[in-house]
């Protein structure tokens, strides 16, 4: 096992800067998600770490050893591809055995290791099948077994759950996490699914246009996003834009919003505030001052979406539509068109420099 250090890596394809001076330290044994929209450079970064492509500039080290010019087959990595990339002409066991067999390991060792890996992914009895006889989830497990049987230093996963349906995806998330804990391997996971990134990883790196936008544990990024992009890409957020006052912002209509978390922005500069929809309290009728929820706005419900355990209210206010998520506690439901008061705490408000 080993950590991975990416330092100032840049890679361009023609005029397109796929990676622009990206630096991330992947700690040994951690589960790391690279999150970003398509074209953000997350897969390019993974391919640099794997060695399918070499950076134009910068340094990549696996376990402290510089690898940026080392070809993929010498990097001792394990990789799971988006489409699994199982060899269709080989049985499941031969697929898993491939990495050991090209190394020239003795047959007895290979058979034992393959069985162990298949048992780990709970496919111990399916070694004799061909890949086309397996379901999507089973193929996924074979791909994982094949990637870890060689005891790689790093496990790289390129949107591995993208092709599975929702229920299976949740199962595989849990399974993947269990296996990763069990073998303690440094894992780097590319995804565009924010929920996947939130639930599985120890740390998340958000990429956009080839740059690292923010990096840290999921809670930290969710609670203290440093940019509007990070706030809206990881989870939902209501964004208010205005002028910084030193303790929050002043909206163009004069309303002030207090924020007690986030960046320090000098008074007078442009700034925004982000509030998560589930942090806002929505109540009918006239505004009552509430010291715990000092930020107060009035508006009108324009739409309600009922989703069983919660409801999402869209509230129109001064040309802006705000989103509020309310747990279904059996309390009175608000009707569309009803005037409402929104209130939330400055503690739930993150100040973001423009």
Partner 1 sequence: MADQLAIGSRRGLKPALPLLLPAYLWLTVAIFLPLSAMVFFSLMTDLPVAGKEWSFTLGNYAAFFSQSLYSTLLLSSLRLGLEVTLWCVVIGYPAAYVLAKVLKGRSREAIFLLVILPFWSNGLVRIFSWAMVLREGGILDTALNAVLPFKINIDLMYSYPAVIIGLVHSYVPYMVLTCYLTLQAIDDSLIEAGRSLGASRRQVLWRVIIPLSMPGLIAGAALIFVPVVGSFMEPRILGGRTGTFYGTVIEDQFVSVFNWPLGAALSFILLAVVLIILALAAPVLRRAA
Site for partner 1 in 99-128 (CB under 8 A): 99, 102-103
Q: Which is nearer to partner 1, 158 or 215 (CB)?
A: 158
91 binds partner 1 (CB under 8 A): no
Q: How far is CA 77 from CA 92, 148, 202, in A?
A: 20, 9, 20
71 binds partner 1 (CB under 8 A): yes
Counting residues that bind partner 1 (by CB under 8 A) gives: 26
Q: Which residues contact 166 (CB under 8 A, 6 or more apart)?
A: none
Of 82, 91, 232, 311, which lies in the binding site for partner 1, with binding defined by CB under 8 A? 82
Q: Which is nearer to partner 1, 143 or 204 (CB)?
A: 143
φ/ψ of 222, rounded to 5, equals -70, -45
Of 72, 198, 239, 258, which lies in the binding site for partner 1, with binding defined by CB under 8 A? 72
Nearest to 57 by CA among 8, 98, 105: 8
Q: How far apart are CA 151 and CA 149, in angstroms?
A: 5
160 binds partner 1 (CB under 8 A): no
Q: Which is nearer to partner 1, 76 or 141 (CB)?
A: 76
- In whole angstroms, what separates CA 341 from the centre of its chain? 33
Smallest separation (angstroms) from partner 1 to the CB of 143: 8
Nearest to 7 by CA among 159, 174, 212, 303: 212
Return the SS3 of 231.
helix
Smallest separation (angstroms) from partner 1 to the CB of 153: 12
Element housing 145 (H / E): helix 136-148
Of 73, 119, 165, 195, which lies in the binding site for partner 1, with binding defined by CB under 8 A? 73
The one segment of 85-93, 259-267, 289-297, 315-323 that binds partner 1 by CB under 8 A = 85-93
54 binds partner 1 (CB under 8 A): no
189 binds partner 1 (CB under 8 A): no
Identify whether the C-beta of residue 294 lies closer than 8 Å to the C-beta of residue 341. no
Of 16, 23, 56, 87, which lies in the binding site for partner 1, with binding defined by CB under 8 A? 87
Q: Which residues contact 185 (CB under 8 A, 6 or more apart)?
A: 1, 29, 78, 148, 152, 153, 154, 155
131 binds partner 1 (CB under 8 A): no
Q: Which two tokens stand for residue 250?
A: 């002043």
Q: Which residues contact 148 (CB under 8 A, 6 or more apart)?
A: 78, 117, 120, 155, 179, 183, 185
The one segment of 8-16, 31-39, 81-89, 270-278 that binds partner 1 by CB under 8 A = 81-89
Of 15, 64, 89, 291, which lies in the binding site for partner 1, with binding defined by CB under 8 A? 89
Identify whether the C-beta of residue 164 lies closer than 8 Å to the C-beta of residue 136. yes
98 binds partner 1 (CB under 8 A): yes
Site for partner 1 in 3-42 (CB under 8 A): none
Q: Which is nearer to partner 1, 96 or 275 (CB)?
A: 96
Q: How far apart are CA 8 and CA 288, in angstroms?
A: 52
The residue ranges that bind partner 1 (CB under 8 A) are 50, 52, 71-74, 76-79, 81-83, 85-89, 98-99, 102-103, 146-147, 150, 156
């Amino acid at each position: 096992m080993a950590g991975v250090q990416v330092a100032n890596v840049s890679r361009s394809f023609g005029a397109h800067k796929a990676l622009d001076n990206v630096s991330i330290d992947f700690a040994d044994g951690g589960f790391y998600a690279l999150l970003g929209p398509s074209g953000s450079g997350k897969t390019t970064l993974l391919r640099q770490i794997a060695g399918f492509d070499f950076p134009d500039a910068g340094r990549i080290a696996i376990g402290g050893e510089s690898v940026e010019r080392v070809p993929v087959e010498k990097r001792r990595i394990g990789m799971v591809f988006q489409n699994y990339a199982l060899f269709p002409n080989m049985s499941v066991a031969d697929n898993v055995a491939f990495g050991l067999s090209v190394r020239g390991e003795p047959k007895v060792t290979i058979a034992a290791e393959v069985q162990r890996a298949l048992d780990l992914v709970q496919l111990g009895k399916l070694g004799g099948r061909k890949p086309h006889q397996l379901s999507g989830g089973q193929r996924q497990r074979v791909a994982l077994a094949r990637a870890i049987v060689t005891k790689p230093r790093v496990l790289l996963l390129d949107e591995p759950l993208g092709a599975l349906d929702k229920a299976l995806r949740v199962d595989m998330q849990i399974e993947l996490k269990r296996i990763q804990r069990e073998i303690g391997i440094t894992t780097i996971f590319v995804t565009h699914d924010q929920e996947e990134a939130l639930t599985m990883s120890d740390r998340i790196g958000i990429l956009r246009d080839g740059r690292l936008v923010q990096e840290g544990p999921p809670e930290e990024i969710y609670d203290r996003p440093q940019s509007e992009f990070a706030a809206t890409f990881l989870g939902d957020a209501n964004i208010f834009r205005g002028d910084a006052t030193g303790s929050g912002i002043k909206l163009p209509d004069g309303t002030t919003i207090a924020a007690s978390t986030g960046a320090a922005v000098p008074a007078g500069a442009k700034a925004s505030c982000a509030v998560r929809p589930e942090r806002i309290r929505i109540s009918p009728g006239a505004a009552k001052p509430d010291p715990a929820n000092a930020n107060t706005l009035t508006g009108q419900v324009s739409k309600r979406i009922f989703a069983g355990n919660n409801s999402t209210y869209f509230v129109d206010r001064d040309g802006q539509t705000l989103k509020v998520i309310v747990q279904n506690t059996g309390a009175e439901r608000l009707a569309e068109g009803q005037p409402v008061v929104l209130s939330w705490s400055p503690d739930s408000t993150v100040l973001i420099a423009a």
